């Protein structure tokens, strides 16, 4: 009959927890000394708790190696969990990207039908490649084939003239186009053509914003000039008012000069980008189609050896 232990279950549990908390930095002898128990007794408690034997004569190096291996096991398990989480996030991101592309291409297809113009007519009238106009309407995972802004603007213009497309709907379509480009440019390895398209879109929006601000300022200048012409008396009050009006006119004129300089810069950038995009708009010199990477291939850190996936291939255009 075994003698009852003089140590309570709670004490043994605390002793085991203390040993495990040392994470290999201390030996059984060191921890046992703090607890005022026999090292072999502590070793037995840990062995029983772990469910596997610990050699009585194991050296400190062996114990440290066991602790190191357990820590490595834990690290790999954590890395595996993180890798699986990132795979799931990327899978959802890929699904969201595909949904955005499909939705946009459907609108493009519907607008083309609204215009009543065939692919050949659109291509011949505006200088696009016939094959390009067709691919710009169809969604494919392996080759997104996002249309350039010039085609989007042509489509809006034709739909407004031929099918009475409302300005609000046109603005929504244009915003959807910009959001799609931003999504594709935010990928791990975005295609340089998508970067050029986004630059074209952003510069065009900036030019329009500057034009609107300039026109608004010109209207203000005209109104102020007309008011200034009515103040011809040389009385003090009118003199001061004329000076204030002239200062406002000069300030608006200076702002328009700054806008004109900014607009020239944006136009130069847009012209450069559109020149680089010209081959993409035609059937000749097509941009090579590259297979889109799988979601699990597109994150930065290296997964555990048993779960490591193949290297990612370049993103598709």
The verdict on 89 and 18 lying in the same domain is: no
Task: Answer whether residue 72 is part of any domain.
Answer: no
The verdict on 101 and 246 lying in the same domain is: no
The verdict on 91 and 163 lying in the same domain is: yes
The verdict on 184 and 239 lying in the same domain is: no
According to DSSP H, which parts of the chain are helical?
9-21, 28-35, 39-50, 60-115, 119-126, 130-135, 149-163, 167-185, 192-229, 236-281
| Helix/strand/coil for 160 | helix
Task: Answer whether residue 199 is part of any domain.
Answer: yes
Task: Answer whether residue 204 is part of any domain.
Answer: yes
The verdict on 159 and 178 lying in the same domain is: yes
For residue 54, give its domain range. 9-58
Q: Say if residues 61 and 53 touch (Cβ distance below 8 Å).
A: no
Q: Positive or negative CA dihedral for 236, 239, 243, 249?
A: positive
Task: Answer whether residue 76 is part of any domain.
Answer: no
Q: In the 8-state DSSP scheme, what is residue 283?
A: S
Q: Which residues contact 256 (CB under 8 A, 6 or more apart)?
A: 214, 217, 218
What integer pLDDT is reported at residue 284 of this predicted model?
53
Task: Answer whether residue 3 is part of any domain.
Answer: no
The verdict on 17 and 137 lying in the same domain is: no
Q: Which of 58, 75, 99 is the last residue of a domain?
A: 58
Q: Say if residues 125 and 134 touch (Cβ distance below 8 Å).
A: no
Go through 207-243 and write b for each residue having 16 or more CB atoms within 10 A of its CB, e for each that does not: beebeeebeebeeebeebeeebeeeeeeeeeeeeebe
What integer pLDDT is reported at residue 232 of this predicted model?
65
The verdict on 107 and 52 lying in the same domain is: no
Residues 193-252 pLDDT 10s? 999 999 999 999 999 999 999 999 999 999 998 888 887 665 656 788 888 889 999 999
What integer pLDDT is reported at residue 233 of this predicted model?
61
Number of folded domains in the chain? 3
- The low-confidence residues of the chain, meaning pLDDT below 50, are 1-3, 285-317
The verdict on 272 and 243 lying in the same domain is: yes
């Amino acid at each position: 009959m075994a003698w009852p232990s003089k140590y309570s279950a709670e004490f043994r549990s605390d002793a085991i927890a203390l040993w495990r908390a040392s994470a290999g930095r201390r030996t059984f002898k060191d921890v046992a000394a703090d607890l005022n128990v026999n090292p072999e007794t502590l070793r037995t408690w840990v062995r029983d708790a772990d469910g596997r034997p610990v050699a009585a004569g194991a050296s400190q190096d062996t114990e440290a190696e066991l602790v190191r291996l357990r820590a490595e096991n834990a690290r790999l398990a954590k890395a595996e969990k993180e890798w699986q989480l990132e795979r799931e996030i990327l899978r959802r991101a890929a699904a969201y990207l595909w949904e955005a592309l499909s939705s946009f291409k459907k609108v493009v297809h519907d607008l083309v039908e609204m215009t009543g113009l065939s692919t050949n007519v659109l291509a011949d009238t505006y200088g696009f490649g016939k094959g390009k106009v067709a691919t710009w309407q169809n969604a494919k995972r392996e080759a997104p084939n996002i249309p350039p802004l010039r085609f989007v603007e042509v489509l809006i213009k034709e739909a407004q003239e031929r099918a009475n497309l409302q300005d609000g709907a046109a603005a929504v379509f244009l915003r959807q186009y910009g959001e799609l480009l931003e999504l594709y440019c935010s990928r791990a390895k975005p295609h340089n053509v998508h970067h050029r398209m986004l630059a074209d879109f952003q510069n065009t929006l900036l030019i329009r914003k500057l034009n609107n601000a300039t026109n608004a300022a010109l209207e203000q200048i005209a109104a102020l000039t007309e008011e200034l012409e009515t103040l011809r008396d040389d009385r003090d009050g009118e003199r001061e008012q004329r000076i204030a009006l002239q200062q406002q006119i000069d300030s608006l004129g200076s702002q328009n000069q700054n806008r004109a300089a900014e607009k020239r810069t944006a136009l130069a950038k847009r012209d450069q980008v559109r020149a680089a995009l010209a081959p993409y708009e035609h059937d000749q010199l097509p941009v090579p189609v590259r297979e889109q990477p799988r979601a699990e291939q597109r994150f930065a850190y290296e997964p555990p050896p048993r779960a490591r996936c193949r290297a990612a291939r370049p993103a598709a255009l």
